[in-house]
Chains A and B, each alone.
Chain A
């Protein structure tokens, strides 16, 4: 009998090893490990930039531009993730809403009385007013599309694939309308108006418009936070995203919540599009190309989580810009995908996604 004890402990070894393996897998799947990996990838990009001869100032400037690009992506992906959260389908027409926002503002600006240029920015008050007006316009368009297309599908209890396909169709439809109305040419909000870069500390050179874009993105995100956390409609949105049946049982009119989600998502997309148009130029397919990093940010951040989408979008923006220091800029969009694939491999539910339901 006393001999038994060493015998018993030996077969336990493999069991211990298995537990170790499980523990390792458990650690790999944590938020912290994913975060560390993503940061390591970013650091590797900076080092690669330095190794190929980019100066520290240039990398800092690229980071600042990356934050700005991230802000634009964030405005789109927050809407995307909200719509996914409440309606559970990927809205492929979100890119078209981004483009529409840019063009609506483009149409509004000449109609408004031109104000003095707000130096060092490149635009006057009329641009800000156009921004404020274009957001609800696109929001209402998004809601109208929902009324005409998605609501019918909801009422027939259609499969989610059908929603995704319908949204793809709406993407082509809206983009075609933009081609019809505004034509295929490039446009600028203020053709030929110079916007020289500012000299900031540490030798960073950034245009004032770019700082404005980042600031606006942050302000809008902060407003979103207040809306989602503190207001009745925000809480109802989160409740509907969590459990639409129970939301109805508690007296929430989920159709109204859905309508507001579209107004919000469309409005944020419009802001993103206007900012994008300000930073480069207006093209009918500009939003279509933003769709890729927007979806990447949505998935990386944990689908349905607006704060996750924000942090992932900023990360994607920085990675996109910093990668141009050692890669051909045409590879930029692929960077978002690398980050997304890494996220899916390590923690499929994303940065701030829920582990348990």
Chain B
């Protein structure tokens, strides 16, 4: 069942998200050097690369948790670098961090409510119903504290919370990290369903091969720099990419 409750794809060729010449890091330590990336409406874009390549740092920089030292990041042609996360989230882009991505002391329902924090309060129950329709398991456990739930269920809560604002672009940082193979398939399935409903997805994934298979385009990041980019298939077929980043 696919729910078409996200906005229809319009202005298809204009990039939703565009990062150019981004350099960023923690304190004096620069991790990203002159990185570029773009995501167009309705796309799945996969960001891969070895550990420490700066993938998560790029995600945090895009979402305003880190501020770039130089470069520009625009969302729908609007500059967002230097803005705070709570301002960026209102523009239609939501982010699911890799770890600590649910409020463990809050119930499932309260987590979803916090996902819809910026909404009019009357709108929240309707959005919640949509998320429950997408993840029926969450409805069964809506009164449970997420701290007591499994990794796969928490990932669902995290994704569900991010969908509450009806975003056009979802940023997923390692959605399958630490999950069993069966659950990994389920998570990827969910991502496909969400994307099929018109939502663009930018994801960082350890399962590089799997994520490139479903991605429209991909970027390979290494040592904080762009190495390769192309369509998912091109990257899968590239012998260098396969040897260096996809494990042979």
Contact = CB atoms under 8 A, between A and B. Distances in A.
Interface of A: 232, 235-236, 238-239, 241-243, 245-254, 354, 356-357
A357 B63 CA distance: 25
B235 interface: no
Given A245-B65, A356-B147, A250 B117 contact: yes
B113 interface: yes
Contacts of B65: 245, 248-249
B34 interface: no
A244 to B, nearest CB: 10
A305 B27 CA distance: 34
Contact of B114 (A245, A250, A253, A354): A250
A13 B74 CA distance: 67
Contacts of B104: 242-243, 357
A243 B103 contact: yes
A189 to B, nearest CB: 40
Q: Specify which of A238, A239, A250 lies most central, judged by the most chain B CB atoms within 10 Å of its CB.
A: A250
10 contacts: A235-B110, A236-B117, A242-B103, A245-B65, A248-B86, A249-B95, A251-B86, A354-B147, A356-B147, A357-B147
B50 interface: no
Given A242-B103, A242-B104, 18 more contacts: A238-B105, A239-B103, A239-B106, A241-B105, A243-B104, A245-B65, A246-B97, A246-B101, A248-B65, A248-B84, A249-B89, A249-B94, A250-B89, A252-B86, A252-B114, A252-B117, A356-B147, A357-B147
B121 interface: yes
Contact of A251 (B97, B105, B165): B165
Contacts of A354: 105, 147
B72 to A, nearest CB: 21
B178 to A, nearest CB: 16
Chain A binding site: helix, strand, loop or mixed by DSSP? helix
Interface string B106-138: 100010011101100100000000000000000
Nearest to B115: A250
Contacts of A251: 85-86, 89-90, 117-118, 165
A243 B161 contact: no
Ranked 7 nearest A-B pairs via Cβ: A248-B85, A251-B89, A251-B118, A242-B103, A251-B117, A242-B105, A239-B114
Interface of B: 63, 65, 84-86, 89-90, 94-95, 97, 100-106, 110, 113-115, 117-118, 121, 147, 161, 165
Nearest to A252: B117
Contacts of A247: 103, 114
Contacts of A243: 100, 103-104
Q: Specify which of B63, B90, B95, B105 lies most central, judged by the most chain A CB atoms within 10 Å of its CB.
A: B105
A245 B105 contact: no
Q: Specify which of B97, B104, B117, B147 lies most central, judged by the most chain A CB atoms within 10 Å of its CB.
A: B117
A249 B117 contact: no
A245 B165 CA distance: 18
A43 B85 CA distance: 53
A246 B101 CA distance: 6
Contacts of B86: 248-254
Contact of A249 (B85, B105, B110): B85
B36 to A, nearest CB: 24
Contacts of A245: 65, 97, 100
A239 B105 CA distance: 8
A233 B121 CA distance: 12
Q: Specify which of A245, A247, A248 lies most central, judged by the most chain B CB atoms within 10 Å of its CB.
A: A248
A245 B86 CA distance: 10
Given A232-B121, A251-B117, A252-B117, A246 B89 contact: no
Contacts of B110: 235, 238-239
A254 B84 CA distance: 11
Q: Specify which of B63, B86, B100, B118 lies most central, judged by the most chain A CB atoms within 10 Å of its CB.
A: B86
B105 A235 contact: no
A235 B100 contact: no
Contacts of A252: 86, 114, 117
A254 B86 CA distance: 8
A165 B86 CA distance: 30
Contacts of A250: 86, 89, 114-115, 117, 161
A136 to B, nearest CB: 24
A357 B110 CA distance: 17
Contacts of B100: 243, 245-246
Given A235-B114, A251-B90, A251-B118, A246 B147 contact: no
A254 B165 CA distance: 18
B189 to A, nearest CB: 24
Given A245-B100, A249-B97, A251-B90, A235 B106 contact: yes
A251 B104 CA distance: 18
Contacts of B84: 248
Q: Specify which of B85, B97, B110 lies most central, judged by the most chain A CB atoms within 10 Å of its CB.
A: B85
Contacts of A241: 105
B103 A246 contact: yes
